[in-house]
Chain A
Amino acid sequence: MQLESVKTILGDVLSLGPSARALTRDSALLGNIPELDSMAVVQLLAALEEHYGFTIEDDDISAHTFATVGSLTDFVTDKMAA
């Protein structure tokens, strides 16, 4: 359910342009999208916090969170349910 808005936020933060629409749950993020450096990860966290109104703690996240579009979406869904 959150997939589309996560894709939109990814596209905005990483300046992906139209190619953001082609992302699927299985699209790999960390290590695959060169734009996703440490600065982008931090911006992504801030954008998610602002968009969804939750606070992300250090313990909430790991490299796995940013493995794929699907894992990031699941993270958002879990945070929303918490």
Chain B
Amino acid sequence: MKDLAPEAFFLPADDGVGVGAGGQRYCLYQPALGVCRGALVYVPPFAEEMNKSRRMAALLALELARHGIASLRIDLHGCGDSSGDFADARWEGWRNDVGLANTWLEQRCGHRPALLGLRLGALLAVDYAANADPARAPQHLLLWQPVLDGATFLTQFLRLRMAGAMISATGAAENSTAALRTMLAAGQPLEVAGYELSPELALAIDGLKLAPLGRVRCALHWFDIGQPERALSPATDKALAALRERGVEVGMTRIDGPAFWASQEIATCPPLLEATAALAPRFATESADAL
């Protein structure tokens, strides 16, 4: 098992995008077991979902390592053990962090990394790929239960504050998601569930949708996780159709399992790990052209 120990380090971050996102990022590098055949960067989800899914991220890294894939997990700016407070985090800074992780991993193991994003991390991965230099952009994106609409996601996050007010029976009205959005639009930071959310970050998330960011040259491998025998949600059907209409290659894998990024107890979903690792041959042969 010694061969499977991850390597923890701090990656220096330049503030190339001018949003005060310097300092360093906490990273975990998991080398491949045996011959390295490919690489993958894990892009974490938002706020508490990141913490809830750390166990699955660690298991993913081990599963991929056994399939010859090296991986890098990064705590984004203002998250986890990286520099900055959550209030300092900006969407452009996070996109820059994904690029930093991508470049580091490619240089380390000589393969162009695929990206795997969970929830809002999936939307971030897709946004990064859409804006990256086409010659260096990832060619495979793996999406675990992706957030399809930033506005819906923001509303659900703001509901945490509304629910808190409801439970303590104080001021539910002034904490309605509509009232909170008005405060953000006026430039006021908000504390939600212990996270200080900046108006800049909130508005960036608010304006993003996944489907328009799909690119023809970048294949999407989508994993939909939920209860057995459920139908795909109408929003998922719509996004799939929009992507395919534009010629984006999308594979859909449906997995029965718990919402491990949000469950009360830390949960895992072994079938998701197996199905993800089974895709390894698809992106494993991609050696970096530049190296």
A residues engaging B (CB < 8 A)?
12-15, 30, 35, 37-43, 45-47, 50-51, 53, 58-59, 61-63, 66
Contacts and interface: CB of A to CB of B under 8 A. Distances in A.
Contacts of A46: 156
Given A12-B227, A43-B259, A58 B176 contact: yes
A38 B263 contact: no
Nearest to B165: A38
B264 A40 contact: yes
14 contacts: A13-B264, A15-B265, A30-B167, A37-B167, A38-B167, A39-B193, A41-B167, A42-B163, A43-B262, A46-B156, A51-B230, A58-B159, A58-B176, A63-B169
A53 B234 contact: yes
Given A12-B258, A14-B264, A38-B167, A58 B193 contact: no
B27 to A, nearest CB: 27
A43 B156 CA distance: 8
B193 A38 contact: yes
Contact of B162 (A12, A37, A50, A58): A58
Contacts of A45: 156, 159, 163
Contacts, number: 59
B166 interface: yes
Nearest to A42: B159
Query: By DSSP majority rule, is chain A's interface helix, strand, loop, or mixed?
Result: helix
Contact of B263 (A15, A37, A66): A15
A61 B166 contact: yes
Contacts of A58: 159, 162, 176-178
Interface of B: 48, 156, 159-164, 166-167, 169, 172, 176-178, 193, 226-227, 230, 233-234, 258-259, 262-265, 267
Contacts of A13: 263-264
A48 to B, nearest CB: 12
Sort A-B residue pairs by CB-CB distance and give the 8 closest, nearest first. Answer: A41-B163, A38-B163, A38-B164, A58-B176, A15-B264, A42-B159, A15-B265, A63-B166
B160 A39 contact: yes
Contacts of B159: 41-42, 45, 58
A12 B259 CA distance: 9
Contacts of A15: 263-265, 267
A66 to B, nearest CB: 8
Nearest to B262: A43
B128 to A, nearest CB: 26
Contacts of A14: 264
Nearest to B233: A50
B68 to A, nearest CB: 35
Given A12-B258, A30-B167, A39 B48 contact: yes
B208 to A, nearest CB: 19
Nearest to A63: B166
Contact of A62 (B161, B166, B263): B166
Nearest to A9: B227
Given A37-B167, A42-B160, 8 more contacts: A14-B264, A15-B265, A39-B193, A50-B233, A58-B162, A59-B176, A62-B166, A63-B172
